[in-house]
Chains A and B, each alone.
Chain A
Amino acid sequence: MFRLTVQSVWARRGRFLLTAAAVVLGVAFMAGTSVLTGTLRRAYDGIATTNLAATDAVVRAAGSVDGDAGRVRGTLDASLVDVVRRVDGVAAADGSVSAGARLVGRDGKLADGGAHQAVPIGMAWLPTAELNPLRLVAGRAPRAGTEVVIDRASARDAGFGPGDRVTVRTSSGAARYTVSGVATFGSDDDAGGAGVVAFAPAAAARILGVPGRVDAVRVAAAPGVSQAEVARRVGSALAAGGRHRAAEVVTGRAAVEEELGTGTSGVPFMEALLPVFALVALFVGAFVIYNAFSITGAQRVRETAVLRAVGASRGQVRRTVLVEAGILGAVASVAGAALGVALAHGLAALLRAFGVELPGGPMVVGARPLAVAAATGTVVTVVAAYLPARRASKVAPVAAMRDVAVDRTGGSIRRAALGAVLTGLGVVASVSGARAGAAGPVGIGALALFAGVVALGPVVAPRFIRAAGRPLAGLRGVAGELARENAARNPRRTAATASALTLGVALVVLISVFAASARVSMDANIDRNLRSDWIITPLQHQDGLGPAVAETVDALPETGSVTTFRYVPARLDGATVSVAGIDPERVEQHLDVGARAGSVRALGATGIGVGHRVATERGLRVGDRVTLRFAETGARSFEVEVVYDLSSDPLGDFVVSQEAFEANASHINDQVVFATTAPGVGEREARTAIERALRATPTARLHSPDEFKSVVAGRIEQLLNLVYVLLFLAVVISLFGIANALALAIVERRREIGLLRAVGMERGQVRAGIRWEAVLVALLGTVAGTALGLGFAWAMVTALAGEGIDRLAVPGTRLVLVGAVGLVGAVVAAALPARRAARLEVLRALTT
């Protein structure tokens, strides 16, 4: 039986080609994304490994909070370094400090200053060679506070060498330094694409962090002392000295382990989003496979019936189809995995084109991700073929006698009921979830709704197509009429073909509407609540704005009020929240915070403001107490002084005074500075003055409110475009599905086409008919997808109303464009099958 099946697959390889293409594409995407993410992870892991290569133990602050932008950990008193050095078994110990630092090029611009470049690393030069990841290749270590060592890649790119004077920009400001040496990071020219600037040990804390404090103490063990042993000894020495509460000790290996896998946070959507798109692609592929096997199954009814008549059992028939699917799936998946390696390069290029900085170096092609992708593809193929296989096995032996009939099944009561129930549940869950602002039910509702729509597809498809195709018959005559009837003749197939497109279109519409809504909501939010004239932001989050920015801008006679915002993650009842540090006296000169109870001005050293939505959720009122846990200082209790409406940027759900903020997160810099223009000063005058003041801080960006809107809009747009490109693959696969379904249907309708040609249908009319058939199927998919996408978007926007996205905006032109892409794509997909149909030899088609 197996050999028979292999032969039958081989004999039909032409027909399997398009089906296989869908599997190949889906698997290639999956393999490509996992190769790429694997490569990235390896690159980032490489940084962590190199950084702590010969470090035997690390002493660090015990408290940590995982915020959106990575783990935030407290700092240690620098005096601890000497304490550790004196521990028996410790050969050497250095205090490490690191923070963003950017080299300014000879032209006064940032040496690698793209908004999406990997953020350069500033660090303390560690005197102990084995603790230091840097290897000098020219010059010497920095000794004076005015000396730095830079990485070889930056030195080469910017043309700096030992003895050159350079400007380095850190969050504490820009300063002039002398390059004392050039170094490699481990054996690489830079740290995974990021430049490195190392400062003299004594000056590093002052330049990069807080004077007298270090991020961690790195320990090298004495010969013969194991990592565990030295960690244990340092630990007990700290405990003996009463320092155990502030600090903890881990082995070097453990510290590296912790870092592994966390390093990709620079491009979080790489890890989170790409697999989602891969899954979508595979899912769409599954529809195509399902359909292909349904159609070939229907075409082989007679063959199957003969098999059954000569005594093949149902199980044998089913197994034959499944084995066929297995063979097809395996072959296509292996091809897909191979193609995936190429696709990984393409994806990397694509991401770079969209401004996402990725570390250089060769692709790491692991056997595992490829095997996983290939296995997934095979399994998906077999699973998708299961229902058609079951149906095939139900063919009665007498069916051998019947001609290929028109399959009008699909409108069964059971299916209609199931579809209606699922759709209803989905709508109810989505709507109630949306109203309650809960994303979970919305997601589950969306899934149920999609399942319901898929189940209802065969019931709705013929009705929809007959209605939508009515004008076509008038417009295109018989060709249009035949297109309509052919599209409607197999409801299940048509629905499955359209469903693949529905999913892709629904996602595109959802994301388009969501992005447009986010943008409109943000604009409205700015218009409504912003009173300030100027917004200053850092190039990247990690750069921050040093205190000098607010100070110098405030000192300008052209500015009136200046206020700052900074953020720190904190734990609240097991959840991580972001706490903003604001100036209670000035913030209302820049923002309408919409106080509902209490006043922002009342925020003192222990006061906290809470956004209205969170306050309602948590039942907080003015006068209640809230305990936050900070990485640096641990638990701190605050009293609610104000409940405000404006919980979107730049306030967020929790605000404290700058005073309270600094007491708990001393080394965190401003992220946003607002300024108003002084009375009587023109806009241009103010801009010129502020820009001049910011010249010393090339990482700071000045925007008017309108400019700020367009910057954010631009960022949304860029992400949106990337998502479009990724979803485009799903749409392409579903178009393959249309092409495949048509190609198979034409095989099935050979005689009909022959007859039509015999009684005078011209080739052009044959082609037009098939094109219009594709358009009708695509129209069904697009309309359903658009409706679902709009519904999902509405639910999401409603659910997120409290998070600043409170207006539903439907980008009409864009949606029309999406629809046009679907329909034009369908015409393109139909081109080849249409050509083939038109070229059929009339007599041969009629008689064989």
Chain B
Amino acid sequence: MDMVTIGSITEAPGAAGAALPEAPTAVVGAAGAGDTAPPRAPAARTVDAVKVYGRGEAEVRALDGVTVDFEAGHFTAVMGPSGSGKSTLLHAVAGLDGLTSGRVFVGDTDLGTLGERRLTRLRRDRIGFVFQQFNLIPTLTALENIVLPLRLAGRRPDPVWVGEVVSRFGLDGRTGHRPPELSGGQQQRVAVARALANRPEIVLADEPTGNLDSRRGAEILSFLRQAVRELDQTVVMVTHDPVAASYADRAVFLADGRIVDELRDPTSDSVLDAMRVLGG
């Protein structure tokens, strides 16, 4: 069932660099949950996650009992109308924000049991995060930004691996530039490279293509897709865009803080249909 061709994707990631495939037309999930593979433990999951902002009249239930697994080696898209709690969910999984009740696990680690310092280390060592914008430290070069989590951990970046990431992302010759000297698309590529550079257990991306034109967006999505396929990377991405969602193995739909629907191997059409049904 997962041997599905995403034929509907027409935008080809053109200028993405030599190391890239022409288009994400290949099969997805090849290295992931194949038919014969035993079921793997999810890379992260939430159990009855509730997040309440404010009190009384102003109370907002951003998450209202979300239980979801993010399978290892899978690319999951999180969708839903604005204000449905997508970012809140991602932040909770990333250990950026605590829950009001319920539990979040990354691997076997219950984030609720971690103190501030261990949460920070978890973000640094086990999670890669890509924000919609402002992902890079303006005083550091592209390369320095990419290896930032590694350096923060006091680890020497493996030059072979870093070199590979850099060239995969078509950033050769750009590594010495600082963010203001890079285009928006390049900046997002650097951000994704950073999220992948320390080989995290899970990459969380909150609308990573939201600020890019469709061509640049497709580029980023290809990279993420490729990372899942070739590196067995787990990726969770929030998006509004059915086309973006079609790069994923699975789409999860949120509304008013609850999971309301789920699609396996979404295409942009199936996503659009689901959104229509949900009144998006």
Interface residues of A (CB under 8 A from B): 405-406, 477-478, 481-482, 485-486, 489, 751-752, 755-763, 765, 842-843, 846
Pair A759/B124 contact, Cβ less than 8 Å = yes
Pair A843/B140 contact, Cβ less than 8 Å = no
Pair B97/A843 contact, Cβ less than 8 Å = yes
Pair B140/A482 contact, Cβ less than 8 Å = yes
Pair B139/A760 contact, Cβ less than 8 Å = no
Q: A406-B180, A758-B96 are in contact. Are A763 and B137 (CB under 8 A)?
A: no
**Closest 6 pairs (CB-CB, A-B):** A760-B124, A485-B139, A478-B151, A760-B123, A760-B149, A762-B120
Pair A757/B131 contact, Cβ less than 8 Å = no
22 A-B pairs whose Cβ atoms sit less than 8 Å apart in the complex: A405-B180, A406-B138, A406-B180, A478-B151, A486-B139, A751-B134, A755-B131, A756-B137, A758-B96, A758-B129, A759-B148, A759-B152, A760-B121, A760-B123, A760-B152, A762-B120, A762-B121, A763-B116, A765-B152, A842-B97, A843-B96, A846-B131
Assuming A751-B134, A759-B124, A759-B148, what are 10 further A-B pairs, CB within 8 angstroms?
A481-B140, A481-B144, A482-B137, A755-B131, A755-B134, A759-B129, A759-B194, A760-B120, A760-B121, A763-B116
Neighbouring A residues of B149 by C-beta, 8 Å: 759-760
Pair B120/A761 contact, Cβ less than 8 Å = yes
Tell me the nearest residue of chain A to B155, going by C-beta: A477
Distance, CA A755 to CA B91, complexed state (A): 13
Chain A CB within 8 A of B27 CB: no
Neighbouring B residues of A481 by C-beta, 8 Å: 140, 144, 151
Pair A757/B134 contact, Cβ less than 8 Å = no
Q: Say which residue of A478, A486, A763 sits within 8 Å of B152 (CB atoms).
A: A478
Chain A CB within 8 A of B153 CB: yes
Pair B120/A477 contact, Cβ less than 8 Å = no
Chain A CB within 8 A of B135 CB: yes
Pair A485/B148 contact, Cβ less than 8 Å = no
Neighbouring A residues of B123 by C-beta, 8 Å: 758-760
Interface string of B143-169 (1 = CB under 8 A from A): 010001101111000000000000000
Tell me the nearest residue of chain A to B128, going by C-beta: A759
Tell me the nearest residue of chain B to A844, going by C-beta: B97
Pair B96/A477 contact, Cβ less than 8 Å = no
Interface string of B162-194 (1 = CB under 8 A from A): 000000000000000010100000000000001
Pair B194/A846 contact, Cβ less than 8 Å = no
Interface residues of B (CB under 8 A from A): 91, 94, 96-97, 116-117, 120-121, 123-125, 129, 131, 134-140, 144, 148-149, 151-154, 178, 180, 194
Q: Say which residue of B96, B136, B151, B152 sits within 8 Å of A842 (CB atoms).
A: B96
Tell me the nearest residue of chain A to B138, going by C-beta: A406
Pair A489/B139 contact, Cβ less than 8 Å = yes
Distance, CA A481 to CA B194, complexed state (A): 18
Neighbouring A residues of B138 by C-beta, 8 Å: 405-406, 752
Q: What distance in Å separates the Cβ of B209 from its nearest Cβ neighbour in chain A?
A: 18
Pair B120/A763 contact, Cβ less than 8 Å = yes
Neighbouring A residues of B178 by C-beta, 8 Å: 406
Most buried by A among B120, B136, B149: B120
Pair A485/B140 contact, Cβ less than 8 Å = yes
Q: A485-B140, A760-B149, A760-B153 are in contact. Are A755 and B121 (CB under 8 A)?
A: no
Neighbouring A residues of B140 by C-beta, 8 Å: 481-482, 485
Pair A752/B180 contact, Cβ less than 8 Å = no
Distance, CA A489 to CA B137, complexed state (A): 12
Most buried by A among B117, B139, B148, B149: B139
Neighbouring B residues of A757 by C-beta, 8 Å: 120
Neighbouring B residues of A846 by C-beta, 8 Å: 131, 134
Tell me the nearest residue of chain B to A486, going by C-beta: B139
Tell me the nearest residue of chain A to B121, going by C-beta: A760
Neighbouring A residues of B125 by C-beta, 8 Å: 760
Distance, CA A846 to CA B96, complexed state (A): 11
Neighbouring B residues of A478 by C-beta, 8 Å: 148, 151-152
Distance, CA A486 to CA B129, complexed state (A): 24
Neighbouring B residues of A765 by C-beta, 8 Å: 152
Q: What distance in Å separates the Cβ of A764 from its nearest Cβ neighbour in chain B?
A: 8
Tell me the nearest residue of chain B to A487, going by C-beta: B139
Tell me the nearest residue of chain B to A485, going by C-beta: B139
Pair B151/A477 contact, Cβ less than 8 Å = yes
Q: What distance in Å separates the Cβ of A408 from its nearest Cβ neighbour in chain B?
A: 10
Neighbouring B residues of A486 by C-beta, 8 Å: 139
Neighbouring B residues of A756 by C-beta, 8 Å: 137, 148, 152
Q: What distance in Å separates the Cβ of B192 from its nearest Cβ neighbour in chain A?
A: 13
Distance, CA A489 to CA B116, complexed state (A): 30
Neighbouring A residues of B121 by C-beta, 8 Å: 760, 762
Neighbouring A residues of B139 by C-beta, 8 Å: 406, 482, 485-486, 489
Q: What distance in Å separates the Cβ of A767 from its nearest Cβ neighbour in chain B?
A: 13
Q: What distance in Å separates the Cβ of A532 from its nearest Cβ neighbour in chain B?
A: 67
Q: What distance in Å separates the Cβ of B11 from its nearest Cβ neighbour in chain A?
A: 28
Tell me the nearest residue of chain A to B148, going by C-beta: A759
Q: Say which residue of A477, A755, A762, A843 sits within 8 Å of B137 (CB atoms).
A: A755
Q: What distance in Å separates the Cβ of A205 from its nearest Cβ neighbour in chain B?
A: 82
Neighbouring B residues of A489 by C-beta, 8 Å: 139
Neighbouring A residues of B129 by C-beta, 8 Å: 758-759
Q: Say which residue of B117, B120, B135, B154 sits within 8 Å of A755 (CB atoms).
A: B135
Distance, CA A478 to CA B147, complexed state (A): 10
Neighbouring B residues of A485 by C-beta, 8 Å: 139-140
Neighbouring B residues of A405 by C-beta, 8 Å: 138, 180
Neighbouring B residues of A759 by C-beta, 8 Å: 123-124, 129, 148-149, 152, 194
Tell me the nearest residue of chain B to A478, going by C-beta: B151
Tell me the nearest residue of chain B to A751, going by C-beta: B134
Q: A405-B180, A477-B151, A489-B139 are in contact. Are A762 and B117 (CB under 8 A)?
A: yes
Distance, CA A94 to CA B116, complexed state (A): 88
Neighbouring B residues of A752 by C-beta, 8 Å: 137-138
Neighbouring B residues of A755 by C-beta, 8 Å: 131, 134-137
Neighbouring A residues of B116 by C-beta, 8 Å: 763
Distance, CA A481 to CA B139, complexed state (A): 10
Neighbouring A residues of B120 by C-beta, 8 Å: 757, 760-763
Neighbouring A residues of B136 by C-beta, 8 Å: 755
Pair A763/B180 contact, Cβ less than 8 Å = no
Neighbouring A residues of B135 by C-beta, 8 Å: 755
Neighbouring B residues of A843 by C-beta, 8 Å: 91, 96-97
Neighbouring A residues of B144 by C-beta, 8 Å: 481
Neighbouring A residues of B153 by C-beta, 8 Å: 760
Neighbouring B residues of A763 by C-beta, 8 Å: 116-117, 120
Neighbouring B residues of A760 by C-beta, 8 Å: 120-121, 123-125, 149, 152-153
Distance, CA A757 to CA B122, complexed state (A): 11
Tell me the nearest residue of chain A to B125, going by C-beta: A760
Neighbouring B residues of A751 by C-beta, 8 Å: 134
Distance, CA A485 to CA B129, complexed state (A): 24
Distance, CA A842 to CA B97, complexed state (A): 8
Neighbouring B residues of A406 by C-beta, 8 Å: 138-139, 178, 180
Distance, CA A752 to CA B180, complexed state (A): 14
Distance, CA A481 to CA B144, complexed state (A): 10
Q: What distance in Å separates the Cβ of A732 from its nearest Cβ neighbour in chain B?
A: 30
Tell me the nearest residue of chain A to B134, going by C-beta: A751
Distance, CA A330 to CA B151, complexed state (A): 48
Tell me the nearest residue of chain B to A484, going by C-beta: B139
Distance, CA A843 to CA B51, complexed state (A): 14
Q: What distance in Å separates the Cβ of B203 from its nearest Cβ neighbour in chain A?
A: 12
Distance, CA A211 to CA B217, complexed state (A): 108
Distance, CA A696 to CA B124, complexed state (A): 83
Most buried by A among B97, B129, B137, B148: B137
Neighbouring A residues of B117 by C-beta, 8 Å: 762-763
Distance, CA A481 to CA B117, complexed state (A): 21
Pair A761/B96 contact, Cβ less than 8 Å = no
Neighbouring A residues of B152 by C-beta, 8 Å: 477-478, 756, 759-762, 765
Distance, CA A846 to CA B87, complexed state (A): 13
Q: What distance in Å separates the Cβ of A842 from its nearest Cβ neighbour in chain B?
A: 6
Neighbouring A residues of B124 by C-beta, 8 Å: 759-761
Tell me the nearest residue of chain B to A761, going by C-beta: B152
Distance, CA A760 to CA B116, complexed state (A): 11
